[in-house]
């Protein structure tokens, strides 16, 4: 009993220190915001504009896809990239499922007075004094929060969907081509994910958890593909070589979706879910 209590107290202390470190690092990075309208506008531009945010990742993916000097090298590269695409879908499903079950508002929301239900009581959450970027969009969102207009998506920031998705796709590109992979990973870390923390959309913990999910699920799927799904992946890769025109059209659509962070795929799944609720279940 005493040992159990001691372990619980130690775990609580470690968790508390870890969260203190998380908040401290968040505020240090977020301190870059709210000082220059130009800097904030550039950071937010690369967060909101799909082409600016993920265009580099899409270009790296296409360059790796077509960059093989021989048919054998191209086949090997495409096998890695095909598995990577499948992994990104799995990663997005995982991060979405977790964020819908864990109540952890974005830092920009936690900067305001907010209560959550703990048992049968409303408890005031800890406030995080994040700085608000000076660009027009961020200022408008800040005014909306002050008036109580909170988006449902802003209440589940853990783990970061962007971190999971872009780390998975960038790491997959790195496995296929080291040179292009370093470009993709650098852009992901220093532009996409750093911007999420600077603007107060995510904490370092959110980003680290999303990145860990993205990397682990990608590597597990790559290993499983080599051991158990090799013939299937090799067959699909060979098909892309035999039917170059059709596969190029499909890859273009996939690269386009990458730059859109799969929002159109998510919209399609949302439509299918709505059809299931309103049509199929209505017939029973």
The DSSP code sequence of 71-128 is HHHHHHHHHHHHHHHHHHHHHHHHHHHHHTTS-B--HHHHTS--EEEETTEEEEPPP-
Residues forming beta bridges with residue 124, ordered by sequence position: 115
Confidence band for 29, pLDDT divided at 50, 70 and 90: very high
Check pLDDT > 90 for residue 89: no
Check pLDDT > 80 for residue 112: no
- For residue 271, the model assigns a pLDDT of 66
Instruction: Say what percent of the chain tops pLDDT 70.
Output: 80
Confidence band for 239, pLDDT divided at 50, 70 and 90: confident
Displacement of CA 147 from its chain's centroid (Å) = 28
Question: What value does the mean pLDDT take over residues 234-257?
Answer: 83
pTM (two decimals): 0.85
Confidence band for 20, pLDDT divided at 50, 70 and 90: confident
- For residue 214, the model assigns a pLDDT of 95
Confidence band for 23, pLDDT divided at 50, 70 and 90: confident
Residues forming beta bridges with residue 104, ordered by sequence position: 156
Check pLDDT > 80 for residue 252: yes
- For residue 194, the model assigns a pLDDT of 94
Higher-pLDDT residue of 228, 219: 219
Check pLDDT > 60 for residue 180: yes
Confidence band for 121, pLDDT divided at 50, 70 and 90: low
Q: How many CB atoms lie within 10 A of CB 272?
A: 10
- For residue 186, the model assigns a pLDDT of 96
- For residue 207, the model assigns a pLDDT of 94
Question: What is the domain range of residue 152?
Answer: 2-283
- For residue 206, the model assigns a pLDDT of 92
Query: Total structural domains in the chain?
Result: 1
Higher-pLDDT residue of 140, 172: 172
| Residue matched to tokens 């936690």 | 110
Residues forming beta bridges with residue 156, ordered by sequence position: 104
Confidence band for 51, pLDDT divided at 50, 70 and 90: confident
Question: What value does the mean pLDDT take over residues 70-86?
Answer: 89
Residue 39's region, left for phi above 0, alpha for psi from -120 to 50, else beta, is alpha
Answer for the pair 191, 82: CB distance below 8 angstroms, yes or no: no
Confidence band for 122, pLDDT divided at 50, 70 and 90: low
């Amino acid at each position: 009993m005493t040992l159990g209590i001691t372990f619980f107290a130690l775990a609580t202390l470690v968790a508390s220190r870890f969260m203190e470190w998380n908040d401290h690092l968040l505020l240090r990075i977020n301190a870059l915001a709210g000082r220059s309208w130009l800097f904030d506008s550039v950071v937010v531009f690369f967060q909101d504009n799909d082409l600016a945010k993920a265009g580099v990742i899409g270009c790296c993916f296409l360059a790796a896809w077509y960059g093989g000097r021989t048919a054998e090298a191209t086949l090997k590269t495409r096998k890695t990239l095909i598995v990577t695409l499948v992994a990104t879908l799995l990663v997005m499903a995982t991060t979405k499922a977790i964020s819908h079950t864990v109540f952890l508002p974005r830092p920009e929301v936690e900067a305001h007075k907010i209560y959550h239900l703990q048992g049968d009581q409303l408890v005031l959450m800890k406030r995080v004094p994040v700085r608000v970027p000076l660009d027009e969009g961020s200022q408008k969102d800040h005014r909306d929060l002050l008036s109580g207009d909170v988006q449902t998506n802003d209440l589940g920031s853990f783990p970061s969907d962007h971190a999971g998705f872009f780390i998975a796709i960038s790491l997959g590109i790195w496995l296929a081509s080291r040179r292009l992979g370093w470009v993709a990973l650098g852009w992901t870390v220093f532009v996409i994910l750093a911007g999420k923390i600077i603007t107060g959309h995510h904490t370092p913990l959110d980003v680290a958890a999303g990145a860990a999910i993205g990397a682990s699920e990608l590597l597990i799927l790559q290993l499983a593909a080599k051991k158990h799904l090799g013939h299937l992946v090799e067959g699909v890769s060979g098909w892309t070589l035999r039917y170059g025109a059709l596969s190029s059209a499909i890859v273009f659509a996939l690269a386009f979706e990458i730059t859109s962070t799969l929002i159109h795929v998510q919209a399609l799944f949302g439509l299918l879910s709505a059809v299931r609720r309103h049509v199929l279940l209505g017939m029973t």
